[in-house]
Structure 1
Amino acid sequence: MKLLHIADLHAGKTLGKVSRNPDLEYALSQVVEYAKEDGTEVLLVAGDVFDKANPDNESKELIFDFFLRLKNIGTEVVVIAGNHDSYDFMKSIKGLTKLANVHIYDRPSKEHFLYSVGELKVACLPYPSERVITGADEDSKKSYAELVGKFIRFLAESVKDARFKVLLAHLFIAGSTYTKTEREATITHHYAVQPASLSDIFDYVALGHVHKHQRIEKAPTYAYYTGSLYQLDFSEAGDKKFFNRILFEDVQPRIEVVELSLKNPLSVFNIEQSKIMGELDKMKATPGYLKIVIKVEDKTKMPPLIEKLREELGEKLIKIEQIEDSDKGKPGSPHPGTLDPLKLYREYYQSAYGKELPEEIEKKFLELLREAEGSI
């Protein structure tokens, strides 16, 4: 049996004012073409199909067209919701997508979690928000990681009699290497599930949530993040992107990592102000989108230089960042995406009350933070 594993599509993602949907469509077309040529029977989508809880019409059309193209070549699709996906929205499209042989699992459930075809069983664990995973367990005093681990054990027991057994999950696994494009509140120690929780009953664990392709080496079975399908922002500039092919025929699966080509790769140029014009031809010849970080030597000459860059590079130039020598050694103002809300709250609590943040308050803070993120 032949499977493909992808994750973190983030349909509707933007970079500044630029839509990344063309980049996603380019990646998905490669997945469809590969599935067609290889005779893929099942495609696993490990969450974060959309970038926002309420996706725009263009993004929905892109994803539904992808599903229909897979139906036309005879590939079934199994999808779980990620932390960017709305449970309710994913539930609302389940009936429609079944027409395209797409099976959606919108939230953690002990009743609706199993996809089965032939000798394959896929146990599905959509992103387990703290509110859902705690509410589903009689012992709410257990840690988040313990509750998730318990749920995974239940899923493993449910599929153990199948010949081929897969866990499809959207989780943060402790020790995994993440980028700067994941929501920081969801990759803190509090949400870290131990690799040992990925039961060896499963032959393969298809993970989503972390945007960098990697194998979880400490897991007791084959466990992979395939990462995002394209470079989501400039923190991923230079990163290659992949999906996995899984072939079940013997006791152990055969896993092949397939590299994707990028429609608009991201590049960052770090240049001194006086050398900008000498690098202009190189920047023009660089494919994709650009971010230029300029070490400023004379602020008075910057406005015409920036105007020249925008004129010469046009839509290729997404962002210009200026750094002055006087900025060295100063803490500055971090980009909002680099802030860790939990860390900031711990520091505030220590400063305000002279002691460490109690565990029960930390747990409540994270619960409220997730609720707030879900409403954005």
Structure 2
Amino acid sequence: MNDIIAVADIHEGINFGFNMDVETGISERAIDIHKNLVKAAEFAIDNHSKLFVIAGDLFDRTHISPTYREMIRKDVIEPLGKNNVGIWILAGNHDQPHSSKKGTSIDDFRGYPHVSVYRGPSVEEIVIDNKKVRCLIMPYMHPDSIALIVKEKIGKDVPPEQMFTAGQKLIKNWLKEKSEPDADYKILFAHYYVEGAKIRETTYPEILPGEFSFTKDMIPDNLDIAVFGHIHLHQSMGKIGNTEVVYTGAVERIDWGERE
């Protein structure tokens, strides 16, 4: 069954300075990446999927050229909608602004009734073939956003050296609480580095110094699967209790450092 299709780390809008198309100003390499996303959307349509999840970094920056946005709209958003496939777009570290009050190019798709854009933690329950599916959604949040959450919950400033640990504890508790209600299936979609994940050698860094990360014990052990974006290498990290932990991997290699 392919009721839910998940991809991540497309990085539409990434700049390649070679083989430029004169009319669009877009590199052929960027078109290759776009075509792979389109193939994934076509797979969802061909398999009568119910949901298409982009687990972070649809775009390479918070604001990208209208040309790329129109390509996504025409080749992905609208075809999926015409075939009754819902779309969930999670903010990733590249297309999530540092402030929740600032806009981002992924917000452009909120006007479609079949599209939901997530920039903060959320919970959704959907029904597929008469089965209740409970989904925990954890988009990427920058360290300064985590610091604000910690301050709001604790009621005071936390020393910088304690902020990450406090943030990890808060998110761990939130995920545990939200994973407890009954459902036929439970899924986590998130965009973070999980400690222990394998990273390819690359000149395009997936993890930046000082960014917020997940420890394995933050992931609830009562889920069916935890699907992560952020690391470009597709991989399974095994199980935490009953929860299978996987990275979708990027839809295409970004640079030579990601070659096999």
Band the TM-score falls in, shorter-chain normalisation: 0.7 to 0.9
8 Å contact kept, 1:78–1:115: no
Greater relative contact order, per chain length (Cα 8 Å cut-off, separation 6+):
2
What are the within-5 Å matches in structure 2 for residues 255-266 of structure 1?
none
8 Å contact kept, 2:10–2:59: yes
Give the 3-state SS of the residue equivalent to 2:103 in structure 1: helix
8 Å contact kept, 1:7–1:229: yes
Distance (whole Å) between structure 1 residues aligned to residue 164 and residue 104 of structure 2: 23
Percent identity over the alignment? 23
Count of residue pairs the alignment pairs up:
231
Alignment partner of 1:168 out of 189, 192, 207: 189
| Residue in structure 2 matched with residue 70 of structure 1 by the alignment | 80
- The letter of the residue matching 1:185 is L
8 Å contact kept, 1:182–1:211: no
CA RMSD of aligned residues (A): 2.3
8 Å contact kept, 1:144–1:191: yes
TM-score, reference length from structure 2: 0.80
| Residue in structure 2 matched with residue 47 of structure 1 by the alignment | 56
| Residue in structure 1 matched with residue 145 of structure 2 by the alignment | 132
Give the 3-state SS of the residue equivalent to 2:49 in structure 1: coil
Cα–Cα, structure 1 residues 145 and 62, in superposed 2: closer, same or farther, change >3 Å?
A: farther
8 Å contact kept, 2:41–2:52: no
Render the CA deviation track for 1:79-134: whole Å, top value 9, x for unaligned: 1100100333348726x43425111012x34xxx1222221222111112111112
Distance (whole Å) between structure 2 residues aligned to residue 235 and residue 74 of structure 1: 38
Q: Does residue 193 of the first structure (1) align with residue 194 of the second (2)?
A: no
Distance (whole Å) between structure 1 residues aligned to residue 115 and residue 180 of structure 2: 24
Structure 2, unpaired ranges of 5+: 20-26
8 Å contact kept, 1:49–1:85: yes
Greater Rg over alpha carbons, structure: 1
What are the within-5 Å matches in structure 2 for residues 1-376 of structure 1?
2-18=3-19, 19=27, 20-65=29-74, 66-87=76-97, 88-90=102-104, 93=107, 96-106=109-119, 108-109=120-121, 113-118=122-127, 119-137=132-150, 138-139=153-154, 140-141=158-159, 142-161=162-181, 162-179=183-200, 180=202, 181-186=204-209, 191-217=212-238, 219-220=240-241, 221-237=243-259, 239=260
Distance (whole Å) between structure 1 residues aligned to residue 238 and residue 116 of structure 2: 29
Runs of 4+ in 1 over 6 A off after TM superposition: none
| Residue in structure 2 matched with residue 298 of structure 1 by the alignment | none
- The letter of the residue matching 2:256 is F
Between Structure 1 and Structure 2, the one with more helix by share is 1
Distance (whole Å) between structure 1 residues aligned to residue 31 and residue 176 of structure 2: 38
| Residue in structure 1 matched with residue 23 of structure 2 by the alignment | none
Cα–Cα, structure 1 residues 72 and 148, in superposed 2: closer, same or farther, change >3 Å?
A: farther
